[in-house]
Amino acid sequence: MSVDKGLRTEVARRAILGRGLSLGALTMLTGCDISDNKSVQAALHSVSRWNDEVQAALFSKQRLAKEYAADEVAKTFRYNAYYPANIVSPIDPTTYRLGLAGRITDKRPWTVAQLQAMTRHTQRTRHVCVEGWSYVGEWTGPRLSEFLHRVGADLTAKYVGFECADGYYEGMDMPTALHPQTFMVMSIRDKTLPDRYGFPLKIRVATKLGFKNPKWVTAIWVTNDRPRGFWPDRGYNWFSGI
Ligand SMILES: Nc1nc2c(c(=O)[nH]1)N[C@H]1C(S)=C(S)[C@@H](COP(=O)(O)O)O[C@H]1N2
Ligand SMILES: [Mo]
Tens of pLDDT, residues 69-96: 999 999 999 999 999 999 999 999 999 9
Task: Name the pTM for this structure.
Answer: 0.81
Give the model's pLDDT for residue 133. Answer: 87
Please identify, by atom number, the ligand 1 atom nearest to the C-alpha of residue 81: 7
Residue nearest to atom 5 of ligand 1 (CA): 81
Q: How many residues does the chain have?
A: 242
CA of 150 from ligand 2 middle (Å) equals 30
Q: Omega into 200 within 30° of 0, i.e. cis?
A: yes
pLDDT in tens, 91-144: 999 999 999 999 999 999 999 999 999 999 999 999 988 788 899 999 999 999
Query: Using CB atoms within 10 A of its CB, is residue 76 exposed (0-12), middle (13-18) or buried (19+)?
Result: exposed
Distance 103 CA to ligand 2 centre (A): 29
User: Domain spans of the chain?
Assistant: 1-242
Q: Ligand 2 mean position to 211 CA, how many Å?
A: 4
* 197 Cβ below 6 A of ligand 1: yes
Spacing, Cα 43 to ligand 1 middle (Å): 16
Q: Which residues contact 12 (CB under 8 A, 6 or more apart)?
A: none
Q: Which atom of ligand 1 is nearest to the CA of 210?
A: 14
Class of domain 1-242: alpha beta
Cβ–ligand 1 distance for 80 under 6 Å, the answer yes
